[in-house]
Structure 1
């Protein structure tokens, strides 16, 4: 039997579209000499598969807050869980042995309604000297701890695997850490972006009390550092992420650089220069009617426009900076230039989507700025003249690699691993509307510069970001951890 690998992720393949989903899909398709199970953590009770699952790949979808666990726990286990959870407020990594052994003897709901939890909550409440009511505080605490306890319970069920590969250092990492503590299974963590940086961006917008945001920040900081502690190897997708991980206390010898890669032969056919053309079949069947209506209206306008087309491939989320692109578009259009802008990708944050729609109306750019939803990425890129990545945080983005492989001139924000990917084959800007707008104007006015940068971008992908290299690097990493003896005996 081939080595059994569990890939643990939050959302992602096959229920969501995005960079992590692409990464998982490429791993399980490319490493056919391993047996994969994909464990997807989500909060959505109804999930549609957005990808066709390859034959032989098992998928387990775990919906947070919905499962009824068989165990009920006991006061002694409750006391140990409460004591261990309190350590997370220190913001540092903790030892998991007692927390894991006690948590799997109980269940989240029973613990969070126990006397032991309420005594712990009262103790923390008094230490913090908060002005909010205690009941509100305790329920806020329960909301933080419930998914943490569920992640530990889930890790306790991953018996029989030879390796756990977690796709972030948050809850997915905690599942892997718990499995390592319980079953002694080696753990690899790959971060595709800074979990804590993206948490901060989310917290800026969250409609929660300040004290609750601060508690969540401290607890998740502890979770991330704990996962770093238990990981055998942390595979970083960029040197920027590696530096950040070292700042958070990860020993250099535990880190391994494995950049993302793509099959560039799948890209590169440009179907237009200067014309947006028609857009067809841009809807995901899982969208709400609101989203469908918006996309239909966007398509109708898109088919009328014939100017230079600026595209980004991104989920609609503040981390991805769609608001920055909208404001940049307004600046460009106000100068008299007639460009079209299209955002291709799923809507992951409905509230943010509504804010973007309101911003587009406020800026009076509705005719030129469209959010078209999920579609064939290669087709969308082939129709573009300029690609913009306006993100506030990134690791080694697949969307950027795909645009480069298509031969598009690139404007990317100077965040995370973007400078490492882009090099001198594009224009780097700060994540600010004015700088993005100036770069767009520069490329829109200079067709020869667009051609030159597009050529350089494709050549850079071919030289540095090949899928085969990524797959081989993970194969070698897996073999080093599961052991050559086991591999040779199963071959």
Structure 2
């Protein structure tokens, strides 16, 4: 097979999951046809993913799909001692993952590549069943978590470190490419660090949201982790349950190792770039490349924009907890007290988290909003935007949402929570940008009353709505066009693919 120019490392996204990051990946591949791509998709368990949602462009040479929580099957367990030298390496790796103050060294990454999962090194069977592995596990428990249930600690240990065996196996079997490009830290970024060590080729790391931060949010909300505290503990600020902290330390180490191994690191806006540096990214490697959209795609939508705002608020996005769809629903409940004709449309895929979709449906029924709030599923965004008076985003975490830029290109004002780059998208990045005017309102997280006030202000003031519409279109035209983004990534790819180790 022809060697690809770029090996794209994708975790839980393109081409099996819809959403902003997947749209961006497809946009990047199709927008740079002069480069060939080889795609590596990493998922957790196979049953969490359905069909492929994107047709791969012609410049994609191949796609590998790996589910890293499902290692290869092997025979029944049997007693074994394990190799002392391999476990010495393993102990050093575990210290790094549990302290996460420094990234794994290139020597440690190389040892993982040559020993982890290997019969002559530390096999997966030895990790599960050997005496040496048991001794390390007990020692970790006694030094880190002796007040925690040993059963919880045991299964946490296995679940956390099992994917490393999968990642090393993938890294040792992938075909070479001229450069690597991971679209997150996490497992994909750590795979990039391993591949960088194996192939000695340039490694570009791009983050939309900050992966470690988002995993911390997920872990804080995770119902599968039970917080256990003494009944007489009356302190207001209880120490985070050990299981959560163990997972967080693990993801912090994945991030630090990816940052250290990368040759260039991109973020979507300066706030995230600063967060990368705070989390361990070398400042001299970081740069900001904003998203860009195809204005021509929304030209017809802009022409169809009505003179007065339709009494419709639209939330365009995946129906998942991080998008906080429930706050959008509650916002509509508050707003219809003053605007009885108001409609709230939830526009986006619902298959990712069926349990959360059900919770949202129950909330709609409990608030008697069946006639006001509708799930429309996947829609052609360019066709539906002219029907909206306002595009709303109630997320608790974002990076640089494409949906806001798309709404602005169609002349639809926006309301968004104060997360990611939403404030600079709506009000402007700098003085020259801010002089264009605001294209909407920024609200607090989980603030339905504040969101309702902003929504009513926009829908009942056509003159102000028109001004915001014009400001949004001017901003996206001047700063967020697709060719600008392609030019920046083309420059990076050109430089890195001709880079010599």
For the criterion TM > 0.5, the same-fold answer is yes
Q: CA deviation at 1:170?
A: 0.8
Q: Deviations over 1:30-58 (max 9, x none)?
A: 11111101111123346311111112412
Q: Provide the rounded CA distance (Å) in 2 between the counterparts of 1:212 and 1:462.
A: 47
Q: Provide the rounded CA distance (Å) in 2 between the counterparts of 1:456 and 1:66.
A: 50
Helix, strand or coil for the counterpart of 1:267?
helix
Q: Provide the rounded CA distance (Å) in 1 between the counterparts of 2:200 and 2:254.
A: 19
Report what 1:332 is aligned to. Answer: 335
Q: Provide the rounded CA distance (Å) in 1 between the counterparts of 2:132 and 2:465.
A: 64
Kindly report which structure 2 residues correspond to 1:145-294, keeping only aligned pairs within 5 A, or say none: 145-207=161-223, 208-209=225-226, 210-270=241-301, 271=304, 273=306
1:483 matched to 2:498:
yes
Report what 2:455 is aligned to. Answer: 440
Q: Single out whichever of 452-461 and 106-115 deviates more from structure 2.
A: 106-115
Helix, strand or coil for the counterpart of 1:162?
strand
Report what 1:53 is aligned to. Answer: 56
Report what 1:21 is aligned to. Answer: 22
Q: CA deviation at 1:4?
A: 1.7
Match of 2:468 among 443, 453, 456: 453
Q: Deviations over 1:202-230 (max 9, x none)?
A: 12221213322121011111111111111
Q: Deviations over 1:378-414 (max 9, x none)?
A: 2222321110111111111111111111110111211
Does the CA contact (< 8 Å) of 1:310 and 1:388 recur in 2?
A: yes
Does the CA contact (< 8 Å) of 1:108 and 1:150 recur in 2?
A: no
Does the CA contact (< 8 Å) of 1:163 and 1:482 recur in 2?
A: yes
Give the unaligned 5+ runs of structure 2: 227-240, 429-437
Does the CA contact (< 8 Å) of 2:145 and 2:153 recur in 1?
A: no
Q: CA deviation at 1:261?
A: 0.6
Q: Provide the rounded CA distance (Å) in 2 between the counterparts of 1:41 and 1:319.
A: 21
Kindly report which structure 2 residues correspond to 1:66-105, keeping only aligned pairs within 5 A, or say none: 66-68=70-72, 75=83, 76-92=85-101, 93-95=103-105, 96-103=109-116, 105=118
1:34 matched to 2:26:
no
Report what 2:389 is aligned to. Answer: 385
Q: Provide the rounded CA distance (Å) in 2 between the counterparts of 1:343 and 1:114.
A: 52
Q: CA deviation at 1:86?
A: 3.4
Q: CA deviation at 1:85?
A: 2.5
Q: Provide the rounded CA distance (Å) in 2 between the counterparts of 1:14 and 1:402.
A: 21
Q: Deviations over 1:346-401 (max 9, x none)?
A: 23223322222222222222221122222222222232111011111111111111
Q: Provide the rounded CA distance (Å) in 1 between the counterparts of 2:407 and 2:292.
A: 13
Q: Provide the rounded CA distance (Å) in 2 between the counterparts of 1:476 and 1:379.
A: 33
Alpha carbons of 1:129 and 1:26: their partners in 2 closer, same or farther (altered >3 Å)? closer
Report what 1:413 is aligned to. Answer: 417
Helix, strand or coil for the counterpart of 1:334?
coil
Helix, strand or coil for the counterpart of 1:326?
helix
Does the CA contact (< 8 Å) of 1:83 and 1:120 recur in 2?
A: no
Q: Provide the rounded CA distance (Å) in 2 between the counterparts of 1:311 and 1:274.
A: 18
Report what 2:312 is aligned to. Answer: 309
User: Paired residues, what number?
Assistant: 456
Give the unaligned 5+ runs of structure 1: 277-306, 487-491
Q: Provide the rounded CA distance (Å) in 2 between the counterparts of 1:419 and 1:453.
A: 14
Q: Provide the rounded CA distance (Å) in 2 between the counterparts of 1:369 and 1:53.
A: 35
Match of 1:361 among 365, 370, 379: 365
Report what 2:376 is aligned to. Answer: 372
Q: CA deviation at 1:116?
A: 3.3
Q: Provide the rounded CA distance (Å) in 2 between the counterparts of 1:473 and 1:2.
A: 23
Does the CA contact (< 8 Å) of 1:275 and 1:383 recur in 2?
A: no
Does the CA contact (< 8 Å) of 2:344 and 2:372 recur in 1?
A: yes
Report what 2:489 is aligned to. Answer: 474
Q: CA deviation at 1:2?
A: 7.8
Does the CA contact (< 8 Å) of 1:162 and 1:185 recur in 2?
A: yes
Alpha carbons of 1:44 and 1:142: their partners in 2 closer, same or farther (altered >3 Å)? same
Q: Single out whichever of 196-205 and 211-220 deviates more from structure 2.
A: 196-205
Q: Provide the rounded CA distance (Å) in 2 between the counterparts of 1:371 and 1:22.
A: 21
Alpha carbons of 1:257 and 1:109: their partners in 2 closer, same or farther (altered >3 Å)? farther
Q: Provide the rounded CA distance (Å) in 2 between the counterparts of 1:357 and 1:460.
A: 36
